[in-house]
Chain A
């Protein structure tokens, strides 16, 4: 059993690394309720700053500790600046808007890091002590891993002490329970939040620097870290520090042991664990049911039917969309096709997120299932395109119905993370089942029949997507849509007037999945191929960004959001090397100027 002890210790070291990243995220969420997508970026900055400091210092342990702390402090300062200049302005904005804002920050930091530190992976030369190992039962085990194993619980204990034994900690905990009361006590809540954000960011930065002895500072580490950290935080229970440690331990050890039996398991293991935990314990291992930390009333805006001017604008846009193919070039046409598909993709998410009140971090799952469900019959059974386009929404809808039956009883971040877990599982299937799906090489040659040239495909996409979005809109204003919105506004009231809120939510979930599936099917034919990347987290984030950018309240939001985001992305990609920075800055600017989304601006 020697090997299993080593595996166990290795898992515990990994657990500490995971916990160190996750701790900051859960601290920030627990107090400010900010879903900080930029946490991974702070982790990455911590690693790069740590590298810059540590590679200039002697390699002794005391300098290493000093360098890690300095990196943590620098990241804390960056975090505080981020909070004061950006997040502070949008605490009262609709939920998840912080997610959009911090996504913009992620993009900006990626380019900034590339330009400050260059494209190469930066590795920190290790001092002798960092390279040394201790012999445990005849096997060599890295000394640094032992240090990490100890560091996890130590940091956990320090955070716990800070929160329970200091006045600041008491105030922070009070703010977690009841913000208004803390304000009533005369405490400057803004400074409290800034300090919490700084602390969480500092933890992320330290975690980044602490990763240096075993990993390079590289430009991909931000997104890797953020998904891992999110999963740990959610499994542990949002806002629970000890829960985060338990979750990290669970994942670290399962991973280290699982790698022996099933080496490929690392692809989805964490997501399978997350799904299992959340279905049994929706609030995570040690989480409590979340109390609303913001005034709920802020999040429910009254919905009015589109104003005449908005309807006119929609008609004008449609007229342009119909006339455009006759004047523009082939690439612009492909961009418009892309936009049309994005509109249905975003509109379908809106049905869930807006009136349905169910945010999803994994909406790409349905899009991807639709795409594969359209492409596979074409490749394997030489089914014709119209039939494939019929299969796509049906397949996606059926899977959505099955998954929805399991998850619609849940709420908020739990539900959103379960959709993410499911999307990752679908992604892993598409990625791993190469015999059928072609693995990461995807399915190629899914081109439309010869009668459907680019123009015909555009009109097909436009009619199905714009039509689909309008149909969804029609349904949302029909009795079903009102009943759905009623379930969101007040579940208690909706049930008390006889509405089956779960079934309403389930139909919305299924309908959204089905519509996204149709979008995916169309995408397969317009691109001629399907890849696992259509199911990636990045693609799910795209959908969220489009909805939030346009505004979550009415159907105008996702439509405008899809047009703006797709257009901006394509224009910037062609215009500048720095497209990520500019796109990120544009998103941040939009969030600050029109927090209710661009559609809100149109309505004013």
Chain B
């Protein structure tokens, strides 16, 4: 069964259709890229999947379960992690505490009132930080991190929930070009080893073509193409609306 099945998702803002009738599936363990020019409706689509926005019509099924109007925290509990276009972390905490907070929530221990939070799940937190390459930064205040490292931290936070599906909105935006490939390779490896599916939007075409197993192309709120890197490269419609403008 597909991890995620999206059927006819539609959303308008004040009469302007941002997403119209988008349908696709995400398969276990795959890296699926959602691309398209600015304003194509990628972020709106993402926010409907994560529960941040309710769709006007259509539905989202997570392993067959309808999650369309569930709030984000329920969707998270069902095994969907996500990162945001503008990184969202807990700025008053240290790097490790960020991950510990996520782990506590995952283990449903967030309502405990006694033992200090930072004594929980230390090994697990450090293992996650090691995975994303932040092991040496664990004790630093997260607010001091460089932007690329913030993205890694956000990834670690999302991974703490052991997601079956990871939604990443522009995971490399704002990250230095040299670092981008490394970051996405990391995600791809994690996906493969953990059988976790990843759906991501991305502007950097090199990244998309090198990491994605499959690519979805959106324009003006609709899906216009779907396929692997080779077929998308060759698709004339995609070239016209997207690569054409990018070139």
Q: Determine whether the beta carbon of A483 is less than 8 Å from that of B84.
A: no
The total number of A-B Cβ pairs within 8 Å is 123
CA distance A304 to B141 in the complex (A): 9
CB of B110 within 8 A of CB of A477, answer no
B160 partner residues in chain A, CB cutoff 8 A: 497
Contact in complex: B101, A482 (CB < 8 Å): yes
Partner-contacting stretch, out of A199-207, A238-246, A294-302, A424-432: A294-302
- Please indicate the chain A residues that have their CB under 8 angstroms from the CB of B73 in the complex: 495-500
Stretch at the interface among B21-29, B114-122, B182-190, B194-202: B114-122
Q: Which of B37-45, B85-93, B126-134, B235-243 lies at the interface with chain A?
A: B85-93
Contact between chains at A498 and B114 (CB < 8 Å): no
Q: Are B92 and A492 in contact (CB under 8 A)?
A: no
Q: How many residues of B contact A (CB 8 A)?
A: 44
| Across-interface contacts of B116 in A (CB, < 8 A) | 477-478
Chain A residue contacts of B144, Cβ below 8 A: 302
A-chain residues with CB within 8 Å of residue B77 when the two chains form the complex? 498
Query: How distant is the Cα of A486 from the Cα of B100 in the complex, in angstroms?
Result: 11
Q: Are A489 and B82 in contact, with the CB atoms below 8 A?
A: no
Residues B105 and A492 in contact, CB atoms below 8 Å apart: no
Complex Cα–Cα for A483 and B52 (A): 19
Are B112 and A485 within 8 A (Cβ)? no
State whether the Cβ of A490 lies closer than 8 Å to any Cβ in chain B. Answer: yes
Bin the interface of chain A by size.
20 to 34
Are the C-beta atoms of B157 and A493 separated by less than 8 Å? Answer: yes
Are A483 and B92 in touch, CB under 8 angstroms? no
Is B101 in contact with A486, judged by CB distance below 8 angstroms?
yes
Collect the chain A residues with CB atoms within 8 Å of residue B142's CB. 302
Q: Which residues of chain B have C-beta atoms less than 8 A from A297's C-beta?
A: 91, 143
Contact status B93-A489, CB under 8 Å? yes
A89 touches B (CB below 8 Å): no
Q: Which residues of A contact B112 (CB under 8 A)?
A: 478-480
A399 to chain B, nearest CB (A): 22
Chain B residues 53 to 105 lying within 8 A of chain A, measured CB to CB, are: 71-73, 76-77, 81-82, 84, 88-94, 97, 100-102, 104-105
**Assembly CA distance A474 to B144 (angstroms):** 26
Q: How far, in Å, is A556 (CB) from chain B's closest CB?
A: 15
- Most A CB contacts (10 A, CB to CB) among B84, B94, B111, B115 go to B111
Instruction: Tell me if A479 and B111 are in contact (CB < 8 A).
Output: yes
- A483 CA / B81 CA spacing, docked (Å): 17
Inter-chain CA distance A492–B104, complex, in Å, is 17
**In the assembled complex, A57 has its CB within 8 A of some CB on chain B:** no
Out of A300, A301, A302, A493, name the residue touching B84 (CB < 8 Å).
A493
Q: Does A313 contact B (CB under 8 A)?
A: no
B89 touches A497 (CB 8 A): no
Which B residues touch A493, using CB under 8 A? 84, 88-90, 154, 157
A479 in contact with B92 given A497-B106, A498-B161 (CB within 8 Å): no
Q: How far is B94's CA from A485's CA once the two chains are assembled, in angstroms?
A: 12
What 6 A-B pairs come out closest when comparing CB atoms?
A302-B141, A493-B88, A483-B110, A482-B117, A489-B90, A498-B76
- Which B residues fall within an 8 A CB radius of A? 50, 52, 71-73, 76-77, 81-82, 84, 88-94, 97, 100-102, 104-106, 109-118, 120, 141-144, 154, 157-158, 160-161
8 A-B pairs with C-beta separation under 8 A: A297-B91, A300-B143, A302-B141, A482-B101, A485-B93, A493-B88, A494-B90, A496-B76
Inter-chain pairs besides A302-B142, A480-B111, A499-B110, 13 sampled, C-beta below 8 Å: A297-B91, A302-B141, A474-B113, A477-B116, A478-B113, A478-B116, A479-B112, A482-B93, A482-B118, A490-B91, A492-B72, A497-B157, A497-B161
